[in-house]
Amino acid sequence: MIHYIGHRLLQLIPLLIAISIIAFVIIQLPPGDYLTTYINQLELSGTKVSESAIVALERQYGLDKPMYQQYFIWMKNILLHGDFGRSFSWNEPVSKVIGERLVLTMVISIFTLIVTWLIAIPIGIYSAVRQYSVLDYIFSFIGFIGLAVPNFLIALVIVYFVFDTTGIAITGLFSPEYADAPWSFAKVLDLLQRIWVPVLIIATAGTAGLIRTMRGMLLDELSKQYVVTARAKGVAEKKLLFKYPVRVAVNPLISTIGWTLPTIISGEAIVSIVLNLPTTGPVLLDAFRTQDMYLAGSFILILSILTVIGTLLSDILLAWVDPRIRFGGVEE
Protein backbone atom coordinates (compact mmCIF):
# COMPACT_ATOMS: atom_id res chain seq x y z
CA MET A 1 0.00 0.00 0.00
CA ILE A 2 2.86 2.42 0.85
CA HIS A 3 4.54 1.63 -2.48
CA TYR A 4 1.27 2.32 -4.30
CA ILE A 5 0.82 5.71 -2.55
CA GLY A 6 4.43 6.70 -3.31
CA HIS A 7 3.95 5.74 -6.94
CA ARG A 8 0.83 7.93 -7.17
CA LEU A 9 2.56 10.88 -5.44
CA LEU A 10 5.42 10.83 -7.96
CA GLN A 11 2.90 10.97 -10.79
CA LEU A 12 1.39 14.14 -9.31
CA ILE A 13 4.56 16.28 -9.59
CA PRO A 14 4.54 16.86 -13.39
CA LEU A 15 0.73 17.14 -13.26
CA LEU A 16 0.85 19.96 -10.70
CA ILE A 17 3.49 21.81 -12.74
CA ALA A 18 1.33 21.54 -15.86
CA ILE A 19 -1.72 22.73 -13.91
CA SER A 20 0.12 25.80 -12.60
CA ILE A 21 1.21 26.74 -16.14
CA ILE A 22 -2.29 26.26 -17.55
CA ALA A 23 -3.83 28.27 -14.70
CA PHE A 24 -1.46 31.18 -15.32
CA VAL A 25 -2.01 31.11 -19.08
CA ILE A 26 -5.81 31.03 -18.70
CA ILE A 27 -5.92 34.18 -16.60
CA GLN A 28 -3.74 35.94 -19.19
CA LEU A 29 -5.99 35.05 -22.15
CA PRO A 30 -8.70 37.77 -21.86
CA PRO A 31 -7.74 41.08 -23.51
CA GLY A 32 -6.48 43.72 -21.15
CA ASP A 33 -5.95 43.31 -17.42
CA TYR A 34 -7.09 44.78 -14.15
CA LEU A 35 -4.67 47.70 -14.46
CA THR A 36 -6.21 48.71 -17.80
CA THR A 37 -9.70 48.44 -16.34
CA TYR A 38 -8.65 50.40 -13.26
CA ILE A 39 -7.13 53.21 -15.35
CA ASN A 40 -10.26 53.37 -17.57
CA GLN A 41 -12.46 53.68 -14.49
CA LEU A 42 -10.33 56.51 -13.14
CA GLU A 43 -10.42 58.36 -16.45
CA LEU A 44 -14.20 57.92 -16.78
CA SER A 45 -14.60 59.42 -13.32
CA GLY A 46 -12.58 62.47 -14.43
CA THR A 47 -9.23 61.50 -12.87
CA LYS A 48 -6.37 61.82 -15.35
CA VAL A 49 -3.65 59.17 -14.99
CA SER A 50 -0.19 60.24 -16.12
CA GLU A 51 2.16 58.02 -18.11
CA SER A 52 4.64 57.93 -15.23
CA ALA A 53 1.89 56.74 -12.89
CA ILE A 54 0.94 53.99 -15.36
CA VAL A 55 4.57 52.86 -15.62
CA ALA A 56 4.90 52.86 -11.83
CA LEU A 57 1.76 50.73 -11.47
CA GLU A 58 3.01 48.29 -14.12
CA ARG A 59 6.30 47.90 -12.25
CA GLN A 60 4.51 47.56 -8.93
CA TYR A 61 2.39 44.68 -10.24
CA GLY A 62 5.10 43.19 -12.49
CA LEU A 63 3.00 43.75 -15.62
CA ASP A 64 5.94 45.25 -17.53
CA LYS A 65 7.64 41.84 -17.68
CA PRO A 66 7.04 39.01 -20.21
CA MET A 67 4.43 36.42 -19.30
CA TYR A 68 6.94 33.64 -18.61
CA GLN A 69 8.85 35.87 -16.18
CA GLN A 70 5.61 36.76 -14.40
CA TYR A 71 4.86 33.04 -14.09
CA PHE A 72 8.27 32.15 -12.64
CA ILE A 73 8.10 35.07 -10.18
CA TRP A 74 4.59 33.96 -9.15
CA MET A 75 5.58 30.31 -8.63
CA LYS A 76 8.84 31.19 -6.83
CA ASN A 77 6.97 33.37 -4.35
CA ILE A 78 4.34 30.66 -3.78
CA LEU A 79 6.83 27.85 -3.19
CA LEU A 80 9.39 29.80 -1.13
CA HIS A 81 7.28 32.32 0.72
CA GLY A 82 3.66 31.17 0.41
CA ASP A 83 3.00 34.46 -1.41
CA PHE A 84 0.34 34.09 -4.10
CA GLY A 85 0.74 37.69 -5.23
CA ARG A 86 -1.24 40.83 -4.53
CA SER A 87 -4.91 41.31 -5.28
CA PHE A 88 -5.39 44.46 -7.36
CA SER A 89 -9.04 44.98 -6.44
CA TRP A 90 -8.60 44.33 -2.69
CA ASN A 91 -5.14 45.94 -2.57
CA GLU A 92 -4.08 43.19 -0.17
CA PRO A 93 -2.02 39.98 -0.43
CA VAL A 94 -4.00 37.15 -2.03
CA SER A 95 -3.25 34.86 0.92
CA LYS A 96 -4.92 37.37 3.24
CA VAL A 97 -7.97 37.74 0.98
CA ILE A 98 -8.41 33.98 0.61
CA GLY A 99 -7.13 32.88 4.07
CA GLU A 100 -10.11 32.63 6.42
CA ARG A 101 -12.61 32.38 3.56
CA LEU A 102 -10.88 29.25 2.22
CA VAL A 103 -10.88 27.65 5.67
CA LEU A 104 -14.63 28.30 6.09
CA THR A 105 -15.27 27.01 2.57
CA MET A 106 -13.33 23.81 3.26
CA VAL A 107 -15.26 23.29 6.52
CA ILE A 108 -18.56 23.66 4.65
CA SER A 109 -17.29 21.37 1.87
CA ILE A 110 -16.21 18.60 4.25
CA PHE A 111 -19.47 18.76 6.21
CA THR A 112 -21.41 18.75 2.92
CA LEU A 113 -19.51 15.70 1.66
CA ILE A 114 -20.15 13.80 4.91
CA VAL A 115 -23.85 14.72 4.97
CA THR A 116 -24.19 13.78 1.30
CA TRP A 117 -22.75 10.31 1.88
CA LEU A 118 -24.68 9.72 5.13
CA ILE A 119 -27.94 10.45 3.33
CA ALA A 120 -27.26 9.06 -0.14
CA ILE A 121 -25.76 5.65 0.67
CA PRO A 122 -28.51 4.35 3.03
CA ILE A 123 -31.29 5.67 0.76
CA GLY A 124 -29.59 4.22 -2.33
CA ILE A 125 -29.26 0.81 -0.62
CA TYR A 126 -32.89 0.86 0.52
CA SER A 127 -34.15 1.89 -2.93
CA ALA A 128 -32.20 -0.94 -4.57
CA VAL A 129 -33.26 -3.60 -2.07
CA ARG A 130 -36.90 -2.39 -2.10
CA GLN A 131 -37.08 -1.65 -5.80
CA TYR A 132 -40.45 -0.23 -7.02
CA SER A 133 -41.73 0.16 -3.44
CA VAL A 134 -43.61 3.28 -2.38
CA LEU A 135 -40.55 4.74 -0.65
CA ASP A 136 -38.41 3.95 -3.70
CA TYR A 137 -40.76 6.05 -5.85
CA ILE A 138 -40.77 8.83 -3.23
CA PHE A 139 -36.99 8.90 -2.98
CA SER A 140 -36.67 8.85 -6.77
CA PHE A 141 -39.11 11.77 -7.08
CA ILE A 142 -37.27 13.80 -4.42
CA GLY A 143 -33.98 12.95 -6.13
CA PHE A 144 -35.19 14.29 -9.48
CA ILE A 145 -36.42 17.46 -7.77
CA GLY A 146 -33.03 17.88 -6.10
CA LEU A 147 -31.25 17.52 -9.44
CA ALA A 148 -33.63 19.87 -11.27
CA VAL A 149 -33.93 22.75 -8.81
CA PRO A 150 -30.83 25.02 -8.49
CA ASN A 151 -29.32 25.26 -5.02
CA PHE A 152 -29.58 29.05 -4.92
CA LEU A 153 -33.35 28.85 -5.58
CA ILE A 154 -33.75 26.41 -2.69
CA ALA A 155 -31.73 28.84 -0.55
CA LEU A 156 -33.99 31.77 -1.52
CA VAL A 157 -37.16 29.80 -0.72
CA ILE A 158 -35.86 28.58 2.66
CA VAL A 159 -34.59 32.03 3.70
CA TYR A 160 -37.89 33.68 2.74
CA PHE A 161 -40.03 30.98 4.38
CA VAL A 162 -38.09 31.03 7.67
CA PHE A 163 -38.03 34.81 7.87
CA ASP A 164 -41.72 35.12 6.93
CA THR A 165 -42.85 32.58 9.54
CA THR A 166 -40.43 33.27 12.41
CA GLY A 167 -38.87 36.64 11.65
CA ILE A 168 -35.42 35.09 12.05
CA ALA A 169 -32.77 35.71 9.37
CA ILE A 170 -30.78 32.53 8.78
CA THR A 171 -28.23 34.15 6.46
CA GLY A 172 -24.58 34.28 7.40
CA LEU A 173 -22.36 31.77 9.15
CA PHE A 174 -22.19 33.73 12.40
CA SER A 175 -24.54 35.59 14.68
CA PRO A 176 -24.15 39.41 14.53
CA GLU A 177 -22.16 39.52 17.76
CA TYR A 178 -19.60 36.99 16.42
CA ALA A 179 -19.35 38.14 12.79
CA ASP A 180 -16.33 40.40 13.30
CA ALA A 181 -15.14 38.98 16.62
CA PRO A 182 -11.81 37.13 16.92
CA TRP A 183 -11.88 33.35 16.93
CA SER A 184 -12.87 31.77 20.23
CA PHE A 185 -14.59 28.63 21.49
CA ALA A 186 -17.91 30.51 21.61
CA LYS A 187 -17.49 31.60 17.96
CA VAL A 188 -16.78 28.01 16.89
CA LEU A 189 -19.94 26.82 18.66
CA ASP A 190 -21.91 29.60 16.94
CA LEU A 191 -20.49 28.46 13.58
CA LEU A 192 -21.48 24.83 14.24
CA GLN A 193 -25.03 25.93 15.10
CA ARG A 194 -25.51 27.92 11.89
CA ILE A 195 -23.51 25.89 9.38
CA TRP A 196 -26.19 23.26 8.80
CA VAL A 197 -28.43 25.48 6.66
CA PRO A 198 -25.85 26.07 3.88
CA VAL A 199 -24.57 22.48 4.21
CA LEU A 200 -28.01 20.96 3.65
CA ILE A 201 -28.80 23.35 0.81
CA ILE A 202 -25.51 22.74 -1.02
CA ALA A 203 -25.82 18.97 -0.44
CA THR A 204 -29.20 18.66 -2.18
CA ALA A 205 -27.96 18.25 -5.76
CA GLY A 206 -25.03 16.01 -4.81
CA THR A 207 -27.20 13.82 -2.61
CA ALA A 208 -29.79 13.37 -5.34
CA GLY A 209 -27.17 12.33 -7.88
CA LEU A 210 -25.40 9.90 -5.55
CA ILE A 211 -28.70 8.23 -4.59
CA ARG A 212 -29.34 7.45 -8.25
CA THR A 213 -25.76 6.20 -8.71
CA MET A 214 -25.81 3.99 -5.61
CA ARG A 215 -29.21 2.55 -6.49
CA GLY A 216 -28.23 1.74 -10.08
CA MET A 217 -24.89 0.16 -9.19
CA LEU A 218 -26.36 -1.94 -6.39
CA LEU A 219 -29.22 -3.18 -8.59
CA ASP A 220 -26.64 -4.26 -11.15
CA GLU A 221 -24.61 -6.13 -8.50
CA LEU A 222 -27.67 -7.83 -6.97
CA SER A 223 -28.54 -9.37 -10.33
CA LYS A 224 -25.11 -10.99 -10.79
CA GLN A 225 -24.52 -14.72 -10.53
CA TYR A 226 -22.35 -14.68 -7.38
CA VAL A 227 -25.22 -13.07 -5.43
CA VAL A 228 -27.72 -15.64 -6.74
CA THR A 229 -25.32 -18.46 -5.84
CA ALA A 230 -24.70 -17.09 -2.32
CA ARG A 231 -28.44 -16.85 -1.71
CA ALA A 232 -28.90 -20.42 -2.92
CA LYS A 233 -26.29 -21.55 -0.38
CA GLY A 234 -28.27 -19.90 2.41
CA VAL A 235 -26.04 -16.90 3.18
CA ALA A 236 -27.91 -14.41 5.37
CA GLU A 237 -29.31 -11.48 3.38
CA LYS A 238 -27.64 -8.72 5.43
CA LYS A 239 -24.27 -10.47 5.42
CA LEU A 240 -24.50 -11.09 1.70
CA LEU A 241 -25.60 -7.51 0.98
CA PHE A 242 -22.87 -5.66 2.87
CA LYS A 243 -19.97 -8.06 2.32
CA TYR A 244 -19.84 -7.84 -1.46
CA PRO A 245 -22.54 -5.95 -3.46
CA VAL A 246 -22.45 -2.77 -1.33
CA ARG A 247 -18.64 -2.72 -1.28
CA VAL A 248 -18.55 -2.96 -5.07
CA ALA A 249 -21.42 -0.52 -5.61
CA VAL A 250 -19.77 2.16 -3.44
CA ASN A 251 -16.69 2.29 -5.71
CA PRO A 252 -18.15 4.90 -8.11
CA LEU A 253 -19.01 7.10 -5.13
CA ILE A 254 -15.44 6.91 -3.87
CA SER A 255 -14.09 7.69 -7.33
CA THR A 256 -16.14 10.91 -7.49
CA ILE A 257 -14.30 12.52 -4.55
CA GLY A 258 -11.80 13.93 -7.06
CA TRP A 259 -14.35 16.26 -8.63
CA THR A 260 -16.76 16.51 -5.69
CA LEU A 261 -14.47 18.71 -3.54
CA PRO A 262 -13.83 21.47 -6.13
CA THR A 263 -17.44 21.21 -7.40
CA ILE A 264 -18.76 21.90 -3.90
CA ILE A 265 -16.44 24.90 -3.53
CA SER A 266 -17.22 26.41 -6.93
CA GLY A 267 -20.89 25.38 -6.78
CA GLU A 268 -21.51 27.19 -3.51
CA ALA A 269 -20.67 30.59 -5.05
CA ILE A 270 -24.23 31.75 -5.79
CA VAL A 271 -25.55 30.09 -2.63
CA SER A 272 -22.94 32.06 -0.67
CA ILE A 273 -24.17 35.30 -2.21
CA VAL A 274 -27.79 34.44 -1.38
CA LEU A 275 -26.99 33.37 2.19
CA ASN A 276 -24.36 36.10 2.70
CA LEU A 277 -21.64 33.60 3.58
CA PRO A 278 -18.03 34.81 4.10
CA THR A 279 -16.63 32.10 1.81
CA THR A 280 -14.56 32.04 -1.37
CA GLY A 281 -17.53 31.95 -3.77
CA PRO A 282 -18.34 35.68 -4.01
CA VAL A 283 -14.62 36.58 -4.07
CA LEU A 284 -14.02 34.07 -6.88
CA LEU A 285 -16.80 35.56 -9.04
CA ASP A 286 -15.54 39.09 -8.42
CA ALA A 287 -11.96 38.08 -9.28
CA PHE A 288 -13.04 36.76 -12.68
CA ARG A 289 -15.26 39.78 -13.33
CA THR A 290 -12.50 42.31 -12.61
CA GLN A 291 -9.67 40.22 -14.15
CA ASP A 292 -7.79 40.32 -10.86
CA MET A 293 -5.10 38.04 -12.29
CA TYR A 294 -3.27 36.85 -9.17
CA LEU A 295 -6.47 36.35 -7.17
CA ALA A 296 -8.24 34.52 -10.02
CA GLY A 297 -5.13 32.47 -10.82
CA SER A 298 -4.71 31.46 -7.18
CA PHE A 299 -8.32 30.26 -7.09
CA ILE A 300 -7.87 28.23 -10.27
CA LEU A 301 -4.66 26.74 -8.90
CA ILE A 302 -6.23 25.88 -5.53
CA LEU A 303 -9.32 24.29 -7.12
CA SER A 304 -7.09 22.27 -9.44
CA ILE A 305 -4.91 21.11 -6.54
CA LEU A 306 -8.06 20.12 -4.64
CA THR A 307 -9.10 18.06 -7.67
CA VAL A 308 -5.72 16.31 -7.70
CA ILE A 309 -5.81 15.72 -3.93
CA GLY A 310 -9.37 14.43 -4.18
CA THR A 311 -8.38 12.09 -7.00
CA LEU A 312 -5.44 10.81 -4.92
CA LEU A 313 -7.77 10.18 -1.97
CA SER A 314 -10.15 8.38 -4.31
CA ASP A 315 -7.36 6.15 -5.61
CA ILE A 316 -6.14 5.34 -2.09
CA LEU A 317 -9.66 4.54 -0.83
CA LEU A 318 -10.42 2.45 -3.93
CA ALA A 319 -7.16 0.53 -3.49
CA TRP A 320 -8.06 -0.09 0.16
CA VAL A 321 -11.60 -1.22 -0.67
CA ASP A 322 -10.61 -3.26 -3.74
CA PRO A 323 -7.01 -4.65 -3.63
CA ARG A 324 -7.25 -5.62 -7.32
CA ILE A 325 -6.89 -1.93 -8.21
CA ARG A 326 -3.76 -1.55 -6.05
CA PHE A 327 -1.91 -4.57 -7.37
CA GLY A 328 -3.00 -4.07 -10.97
CA GLY A 329 -1.98 -0.39 -11.01
CA VAL A 330 1.51 -0.97 -9.55
CA GLU A 331 2.34 -3.97 -11.66
CA GLU A 332 1.40 -2.22 -14.84
- Domain extents for the chain? 102-291
> Mean of the pLDDT values across residues 51-58?
77
Q: What are phi and psi of 86, to 5 degrees?
A: -115, 135
pLDDT tens sequence across 285-296? 888 777 777 788
Distance CA 104, CA 34 (A): 27
More confident residue, 234 or 45: 234
Q: What is the mean pLDDT of residues 94-122?
A: 85
Burial state string for 233-251 with b = 16 or more CB within 10 A and e = fewer than 16 = eeeeeeebbeebbbeebbb
CATH code of the region 102-291? 1.10.3720.10
Entry pTM: 0.75
**pLDDT reported for residue 329:** 47
pLDDT of residue 123: 92
Averaged pLDDT, 301-322: 77
Residue 163 pLDDT more than 80? yes
pLDDT tens sequence across 22-52: 888 877 776 666 677 667 767 777 777 777 8
| Among 23, 72, 107, 40, CA closest to 302 | 23
